[in-house]
Amino acid sequence: MLASCALVVAGYQVGTGRWHATPVMSGSMRPAMQPGDVVVTQRVPVSDLHVRDVVVFYPPGQGQHLTVHRIVKLTVRGGTTSISTWGDANPVIDPPVSSIRGTTAYRVVRIIPLIGYPAIRLQSGNRGLMAIGLGALLLIAAAVTVVRPATAAADPVPAAPWGRSPWLSGRFRRFPGR
């Protein structure tokens, strides 16, 4: 029940654009983030960003390639916020981002290990191998469903030898002396 409530809340947050899930594609943020991890980011006002926050952004001049790096320098001049970032495992600081466009940015709030590998496989062009693996997985699941014998539903609460238990019905007090 708790897990389903958490999924509903997470789905709402993603649907409204407040959270995003981004796969980590390189090892530039090792050891904190490995290739194949997924970072969950939260949309925050640019004014809430601080040095040492890890953000997801489009670096200037690199098109539609998202980068997940740590802020190492942040300046605000005349209402314009500029940042410099650094991948934890990189030997040098990234080229400066001239300014952050818009009023919000995406800050990393959670890291989910290993579930981003399909995205890495798709980007590297191994679509055929991934399709074969997914097909094999679906065939195995179908075979297990067909071959598995049907089982009778078990009674979740076994009855007492004399019938329904008075302890389960609530007729007895737990502490009769009180």
In a domain, 161, yes or no: no
Structurally, the chain folds into a number of domains equal to: 2
Which of 115, 136, 163 terminates a domain? The answer is 115
Asked if 44 contacts 105 with a C-beta cutoff of 8 angstroms, the reply is yes
DSSP H/E element including 86: strand 80-86
Do 126 and 110 have their domain in common?
Answer: no
Do 45 and 110 have their domain in common?
Answer: yes
Do 103 and 48 have their domain in common?
Answer: yes
The pTM of this model reads: 0.63
Do 131 and 76 have their domain in common?
Answer: no
SS3 percent helix, strand, coil of the chain, rounded to 5, is 30, 25, 45
Asked if 109 contacts 42 with a C-beta cutoff of 8 angstroms, the reply is yes
Do 131 and 78 have their domain in common?
Answer: no
pLDDT band at 172 (very low <50, low <70, confident <90, very high): very low
Do 72 and 141 have their domain in common?
Answer: no
In a domain, 135, yes or no: yes
Do 23 and 94 have their domain in common?
Answer: yes
Residue 85 Cα distances to 47, 62, 74, 79, angstroms: 17, 15, 9, 20
**How far from the centroid of its chain's Cα atoms is residue 23's Cα?**
9
Range of the domain at 141: 117-147
Do 27 and 93 have their domain in common?
Answer: yes
CB proximity list for 90: less than 8 A, separation 6 or greater: 28
DSSP H/E element including 3: helix 2-15
In a domain, 168, yes or no: no
More confident residue, 43 or 130: 43
**What percent of the chain is predicted at pLDDT more than 70?**
67
- The pLDDT of residue 145: 77
Structure tokens at 86: 């650094």
In the chain, the amino acid numbered 141 is A
What average pLDDT is seen over the chain? 78
In a domain, 164, yes or no: no
Closest to 109 measured CA to CA, from 54, 29, 28: 54
pLDDT in tens, 73-114: 999 988 889 999 999 999 998 887 767 888 899 999 999 998
In a domain, 38, yes or no: yes
Residue 159 above 80 pLDDT?
no
Q: Which CATH number fits the domain that encloses residue 83?
A: 2.10.109.10
Which of 93, 115, 137 terminates a domain? The answer is 115
Distance separating alpha carbons of residues 95 and 60, to the nearest angstrom:
9
